[in-house]
Amino acid sequence: MIYIGIDCGTQSLKAMAWDQARGDAVSAGRSYDLIDGLPPGHKEQHPSVWITALNECLDELRAKGVDMAAVAGIGVSGQQHGLVALDSSHQPVRASKLWCDTSTEPQCRRIMEAAGGQPAYQAEIGNALPPGFTASKILWMKENEPETYRKVRYLLLPHDYLNLYLTGNLVAEPGDASGTGYFRVREREWSKAALSWIDPDRDLMECIPKMIASREPAGQLRGDLQRKWGMSGRVVVSSGGGDNMMGAIGSGNVKPGTVTVSLGTSGTLYSFSASPIIDAAGEIAAFCDSTGGWLPLVCTMNVTVATEMIRAGFLGTGLDEFNQAVEGVRPGADGLILVPYLEGERMPNVPNGTGVLLGLRPATATPGHLARAAMEGVTFGLFYGMERMQELGIVPSEIRLIGGGAKSRVWRQISADVFDRPVVCPENQEGPAFGAALQALWCASGQDAGTLIEQNLKLDDSTRQCPIAANRSVYKELYGLYKEFSRDLIGCGVFEKHRALIVK
């Protein structure tokens, strides 16, 4: 049997056809862009680009010789938090505001005020409310585009929208729903109270899709798509989930002790928990996973977006040359530190943040130093979250690295040294897409999720790297400076003053 995993990300959509019996996979991908010309902080994409990319990828899989008649299931992984607002005909009323959109920070404050403050909000939801979450995007549309808002009949997440396209059914599942800001993570149910804090004059519960369990199917593949793609028999579409939840499945992160770190456009760090872990400070997201457990999670907005800025904007080199430049500079970049809050940051919550360099002097003003400082700085940002997770009782024994950055040997070593843990990559590099395919197998077969993942997941031991004591010592000191510098910048309000200057 063949299972297809679809990963709808910010920059591209990937589809992977995984043959369970043979253990191999065929992949296809399509890139797309965000909408140009929007004001600072606004990040949007039209859902139609995802549908076009999905169709092109499935057509490509067929053209590459995949036996589409053997497909038994499809799973969808989607970028989290994006708002897909539909009218009564299931058509988007506007472009989707994405997870990286920080323009809704004022709406976050108003929702929090309506709730009676963060403690009351968190008591209901289990999470704080960063601008990236979906809730503030709804209020932003209500306040800024009232005519459009009146047309809204359904409120979905990106992966929910793709499931609707594939099955015709309006459903949601707990993992992805955890990042909306109106889902009760302890109880795994929508929050009527939180929706009323967004709009007290309208019953938004009528706009929210039906909640299904992660092991339940979203439905069966539509007949017209089945015929178009050359599939026969019953094709189950699993519940799917957010990219982090699918990345957890695809990296085998379904039991305590394993931590997954995704080095993608954004960075995420998460670990399985059998019970909810609620962070009173609101820094660690209390998410459900997509196997029936929970997934305490750290998210930083700037990872490969920062390294790519340095690579393309300053060095103008390919990836191999970029990695060589990093390797040519010793650990710590001779004291050059990048605080990589390029267009805001989510952890710590700095929506008006920018990138800041400390230690720039003639000796460090080289392409290699900038490249290494970028790679180290974004890894420090993730380690900030690791520290907080350890304070809450998460004990990591091994790091599973996924995402584009995990392909870099020097970045894997930096990660091992900064996190002070062995790191290793799954053999299948398409973490979220592979996780979606595994979830489709789980949904179609009804077998135990943990057993299926253990049987089918393989680690690539050639990528395994362990901490080097001398490097670890350098990073321990440098990280202390990074954290102090970052806190001082935030504490003195310099980012807000700078944003006001730019706006003028």
All structural domains of the chain with their residue ranges:
2-242, 245-301+394-465, 304-385+469-503
Region 134-144: what's the mean pLDDT?
A: 98
Catalytic sites, residue numbers: 243
Q: Quick one: average pLDDT of 485-497?
A: 90
Residue 193: both structure tokens together = 């109270």
DSSP category for residue 94 = S
Q: How many CA atoms lie within 13 A of 366 on its CB side?
A: 14
Q: What is the pLDDT of residues 207-226, one digit of tens each?
A: 999 999 999 999 999 999 99
Instruction: Say how far apart CA 114 and CA 134 lie, in whole Å.
Output: 16
Sorted by sequence, the CB contacts under 8 Å of residue 457 that are 6+ apart come out as 250, 251, 252, 426, 427, 428, 438
State the alpha helices, DSSP H only, in 392-446: 409-419, 431-445
Residue 391 has which token pair?
């304070």
**Residue 1 pLDDT exceeds 70:** yes
**Which range among 248-252, 336-340, 345-349 has the greatest average pLDDT?**
336-340
Residue 66 has pLDDT above 80, yes or no: yes
Max CA-CA distance within the chain?
A: 66
User: Is the pLDDT reported for residue 461 higher than 80?
Assistant: yes
| Range scoring the smallest mean pLDDT among 177-181, 204-208, 300-304, 449-453 | 449-453
Assess whether the region 2-242 and the region 245-301+394-465 belong to the same CATH fold.
yes
pLDDT at 157 over 70: yes
Residue type, 494: V
- Report how far residue 107's alpha carbon sits from residue 136's, in angstroms, rounded to the nearest whole number: 5
The pLDDT of residue 280 is 86
Nearest to 348 by CA among 374, 383, 372, 376: 383
For CA atoms 181, 184, 188, 192, the dihedral sign is: negative
pLDDT tens-digit series, residues 86-131: 999 999 999 999 998 989 999 999 999 999 999 999 999 999 998 9
Strands (E), 42-109: 44-45, 71-78, 84-86, 96-97
Q: Could you tell me which CATH class the domain 2-242 is placed in?
A: alpha beta
* pLDDT confidence of residue 307: 96
Tell me whether residue 151 is exposed, middle or buried, using C-beta atoms within 10 angstroms of its C-beta: 0 to 12, 13 to 18, 19 or more: middle
Tell me the two tokens of residue 118.
Answer: 């963060």
| Other Cβ atoms within 10 Å of 341 Cβ, number | 26
Q: Which residue has the tokens 């340095």?
A: 310
**Mean pLDDT value of segment 235-253:** 94
Task: Give yes or no for residue 504 having a pLDDT over 80.
Answer: no
Q: What contacts 24+ positions apart, CB below 8 Å, involve 143-146?
A: 143/107, 145/94
Residue 138 has pLDDT above 70, yes or no: yes
Model confidence band, residue 495 (pLDDT cutoffs 50, 70, 90):
confident
Read off the pLDDT band of 503 (50, 70, 90): low
SS3 460: strand
Contacts of 294 (CB under 8 A, 6+ apart): 185, 272, 273, 274, 275, 276, 277, 286, 287, 288
The C-alpha atoms of residue 10 and residue 77 are separated, in whole angstroms, by 12
410 has pLDDT over 80 = yes
Q: Residue 241 — very low, low, confident or very high, per pLDDT cuts 50/70/90?
A: very high
Which residue from 159, 194, 166, 174 is spatially nearest to 83, judged by alpha carbons?
Answer: 159
Query: In this structure, what token pair is assigned to residue 470?
Result: 């001398």
Task: Please state which architecture CATH assigns to domain 245-301+394-465.
Answer: 2-Layer Sandwich (3.30)
pLDDT(350) > 90 = no
User: Mean pLDDT throughout 404-429?
Assistant: 94
Q: Is the pLDDT of residue 429 over 80?
A: no
Beta carbons within 10 angstroms of residue 205's beta carbon = 12
Task: Enumerate the β-bridge partners of residue 29.
Answer: 14
Rounded mean pLDDT of 61-70? 96
Evaluate whether 217 touches 3 at the Cβ level (below 8 Å).
Answer: no
Does domain 304-385+469-503 correspond to CATH entry 3.40.50.410?
A: no
Q: What is the mean pLDDT of residues 401-419?
A: 96
Share above pLDDT 90 across residues of the chain, in percent, rounded to a whole number: 81
Distance CA 410, CA 423 (A): 12
Contact (CB, 8 A) for 14 and 28:
yes
* The token pair that represents 3 in the structure block: 């299972």
Give the pair of three-digit tokens for residue 378: 């974004």
What is the spatial distance between Cα 169 and Cα 210, in angstroms, rounded to a whole number?
A: 9
Taking all residues of the chain, what is their mean pLDDT, rounded to a whole number?
Answer: 94
For residue 116, is it left (φ>0), alpha (ψ between -120 and 50) or beta? left
Contact 16, 446 (CB under 8 A): no
Rounded distance, CA 239 to CA 443, Å?
Answer: 8
Quote the radius of gyration of the chain (alpha carbons, Å): 22
